C-alpha cells in the first residue's frame, strides 16, 4: 500500500465508549433541559418496580420515554396505547443502548378530544363486559334507615345532601370522607364503596341501606376520577344500591352507567334516597279514612240485610202464643181422654163380667185390674214422653226466636236509629231529612240532631 494512503493523525485524542456516551448525554441534557412534547403513546408497559416505559410517536418518528415510579403514580388519568398526550420532561440518553429518550415528569391529554376518545374507548370496553346492563341494577329501598355518603367532607355537597335529607325525612347519615379530584381520588372513592359493602350487620357502625357518591360540577379533567376503571368496577360490584350524583345535570361520567340510579345533582340524589315524610303521613291518613268509611258501609249493609231478614220472621210473642194455645188444647184433651177411657174400660169389664161365672169372676177381675193398671201406666208414660218432646221442641223454638231478637243484637254493640215517629231510619238520606233522631242502645235511648 502506498505511503500516501496511510495518512493518520496520531495526535488526535483517544476516547473510551463511556466517555463519548457521557459527553453526548451532557450535550443533549444541556440543550434540551425542559421540553414539552406532543405525540401518541405506543407500547405502554409498567414494570414490577412501578416505572413505566413506552414510546411516543408521530407520523415520521418515534422517541423512547420513561416515567419513574414517583411521577407515574401521580398521573391524573390512566394512560394507554393510542392516546395522544403532551409530555413535559427532559431529553437524555441511555448509554446502555446508545439511544436517546425523554424522562417524563408530567403527562396530560392533548386536548379535550383525546380525553373524550379515551373515555369512549373505556366506556365501550366496560359495556362489553356487561357492567352497564340494566339487569344488574338494584331497586332503591323505599325507606332507608341509614344513608352512606361518599364525598368531600369540606365541600358544599355534603351540606346540601344533609339539608335536603333533613327536610324530607331525617335519617342516620354516615359520611366516608374522600378526595373527589386529583391524585389518589379514584382509589379513595373505590375504597369507600368497598368499605361500606364490607361492613358486617352486627358491627358497631351500621350498614347503610343506600349509598350516594357525590361531587359538585367541574371540567372533564376535574371529574376524571369518576371515569377511572377502578371506580366503575367498584360501583358495579356494590351489593348496596348506589346513586351517583357527580357534577351538574349535563355532566356524565362512567360511574353513572354502573350505578343503580343516576341523579343530576347531589340534592336530587338526596330526594331519590328518601321519600317526603309529610306525604307519607297524609297518605296514611287518607287510607285510614277510606278504611273507616268502608267499614261503616259494610256494617250498614249488614244491618240492612239483617233488618230485612228479620222482617220475614214472625214475631216471637206470636209463636209463643200459638204454642201455648196448642199446649193448653193438648192438656184439655188429655184430661178429657183419661176419664172417657176409664169409662169405656169399665163398661167393657161389666159386659164381660155378665158373661162370666161367679167363681171365675174374681180371678178375671184381678187379671183385668192388673192389665188396666199396666195400660194406665204405659199410657201415662206415653203421654209424659210426648209432653216432654213437645216441651223440648217449644224450648228450641223459643231459643231460635231469642237468637234473632234485636235486643241481643243491641247487646253486641249495634244500635237502632228511629225518627220521632218511631219508624226505623235505614239510610243516610232519611237521616239527613230528620230534625231529631232517636238512637236505641241496649240500655236506653238517646236523641241526637243529625
Contacts of 359 (CB under 8 A, 6+ apart): none
Which sequence spans correspond to the domains of the chain? 17-110, 143-278, 316-403, 416-448
Question: Between 251 and 244, whose confidence is greater?
Answer: 244
Pairing verdict, β 99-109 and 84-94: antiparallel
Lowest model confidence (mean pLDDT) among 66-70, 177-181, 217-221, 283-287: 217-221
pLDDT, one tens digit per residue, over 98-107 is: 788 888 888 8
pLDDT, one tens digit per residue, over 142-187 is: 989 999 999 999 888 999 999 999 989 989 999 999 998 887 889 9
Name the percent of the chain lying above pLDDT 70: 92
pLDDT, one tens digit per residue, over 4-22 is: 445 555 667 777 888 888 8
Q: CA-to-CA distance for 245 and 418, rounded, in angstroms?
A: 65
- Inter-residue contact 67 to 61 (CB < 8 Å): no
Pick the CATH number of 17-110 from 3.40.366.10, 2.60.120.1440, 2.40.50.140, 3.30.565.10: 2.40.50.140
Q: What is the DSSP letter of 424?
A: B
Q: CA-to-CA distance for 236 and 241, rounded, in angstroms?
A: 10
Q: Which residues pair with 94 in a beta bridge?
A: 99
Q: CA-to-CA distance for 11 and 211, rounded, in angstroms?
A: 80
Cell triple for residue 67? Answer: 416515567
CATH code for residues 143-278: 3.40.50.1970
Lowest model confidence (mean pLDDT) among 103-112, 118-127, 271-280: 103-112
Region 241-247: mean pLDDT is 92
pLDDT, one tens digit per residue, over 364-377 is: 778 888 888 888 88
Amino acid at each position: 500500500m502506498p505511503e500516501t494512503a496511510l495518512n493518520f493523525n496520531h495526535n488526535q485524542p483517544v476516547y473510551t465508549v463511556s466517555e463519548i456516551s457521557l459527553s453526548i448525554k451532557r450535550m443533549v441534557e444541556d440543550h434540551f433541559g425542559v421540553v414539552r412534547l406532543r405525540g401518541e403513546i405506543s407500547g405502554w408497559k409498567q414494570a414490577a418496580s412501578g416505572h413505566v416505559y413506552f414510546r411516543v410517536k408521530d407520523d415520521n418518528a418515534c422517541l423512547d420515554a420513561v416515567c419513574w415510579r414517583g411521577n407515574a403514580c401521580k398521573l391524573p388519568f390512566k394512560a394507554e396505547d393510542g392516546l395522544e398526550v403532551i409530555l413535559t420532561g427532559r431529553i437524555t440518553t441511555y448509554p446502555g443502548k446508545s439511544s436517546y429518550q425523554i424522562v417524563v415528569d408530567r403527562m396530560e391529554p392533548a386536548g379535550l378530544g383525546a380525553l373524550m376518545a379515551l373515555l369512549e374507548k373505556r366506556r365501550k370496553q366496560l359495556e362489553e363486559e356487561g357492567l352497564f346492563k340494566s339487569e344488574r341494577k338494584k331497586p332503591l329501598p323505599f325507606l332507608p334507615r341509614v344513608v352512606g355518603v361518599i364525598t368531600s367532607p369540606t365541600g358544599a355537597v355534603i351540606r346540601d345532601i344533609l339539608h335536603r335529607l333533613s327536610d324530607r325525612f331525617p335519617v342516620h347519615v354516615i359520611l366516608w370522607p374522600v378526595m373527589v379530584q386529583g391524585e389518589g381520588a379514584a382509589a379513595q372513592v373505590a375504597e369507600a364503596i368497598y368499605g361500606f359493602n364490607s361492613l358486617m350487620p352486627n358491627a358497631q357502625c351500621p350498614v347503610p341501606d343506600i349509598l350516594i357518591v357525590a361531587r359538585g360540577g367541574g371540567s372533564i379533567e376535574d371529574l376524571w376520577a369518576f371515569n377511572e376503571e377502578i371506580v366503575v368496577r367498584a360501583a358495579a360490584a356494590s351489593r348496596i344500591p348506589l346513586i351517583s350524583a357527580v357534577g351538574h345535570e349535563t355532566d356524565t361520567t362512567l360511574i353513572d352507567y354502573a350505578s343503580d340510579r343516576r341523579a343530576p345533582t347531589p340534592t336530587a340524589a338526596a330526594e331519590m334516597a328518601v321519600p317526603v315524610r309529610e306525604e307519607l303521613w297524609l297518605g296514611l291518613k287518607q287510607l285510614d279514612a277510606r278504611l273507616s268509611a268502608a267499614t261503616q258501609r259494610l256494617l250498614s249493609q249488614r244491618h240492612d240485610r239483617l233488618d230485612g231478614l228479620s222482617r220475614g220472621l214472625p214475631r216471637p210473642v206470636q209463636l209463643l202464643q200459638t204454642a201455648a194455645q196448642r199446649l193448653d188444647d193438648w192438656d184439655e184433651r188429655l184430661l178429657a181422654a183419661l176419664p172417657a177411657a176409664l169409662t169405656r174400660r169399665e163398661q167393657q169389664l161389666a159386659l164381660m163380667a155378665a158373661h162370666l161365672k161367679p167363681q171365675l169372676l174374681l180371678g178375671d177381675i184381678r187379671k183385668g185390674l192388673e192389665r188396666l193398671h199396666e195400660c194406665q201406666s204405659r199410657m201415662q208414660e206415653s203421654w209424659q214422653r210426648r209432653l216432654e218432646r213437645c216441651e223440648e221442641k217449644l224450648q228450641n223454638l223459643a231459643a231460635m226466636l231469642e237468637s234473632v231478637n234485636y235486643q241481643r243484637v243491641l247487646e253486641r254493640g249495634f244500635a237502632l236509629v228511629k225518627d220521632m215517629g218511631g219508624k226505623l231510619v235505614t239510610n243516610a238520606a232519611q237521616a239527613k231529612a230528620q230534625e231529631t233522631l232517636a238512637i236505641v242502645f241496649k240500655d236506653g235511648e238517646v236523641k241526637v240532631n243529625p
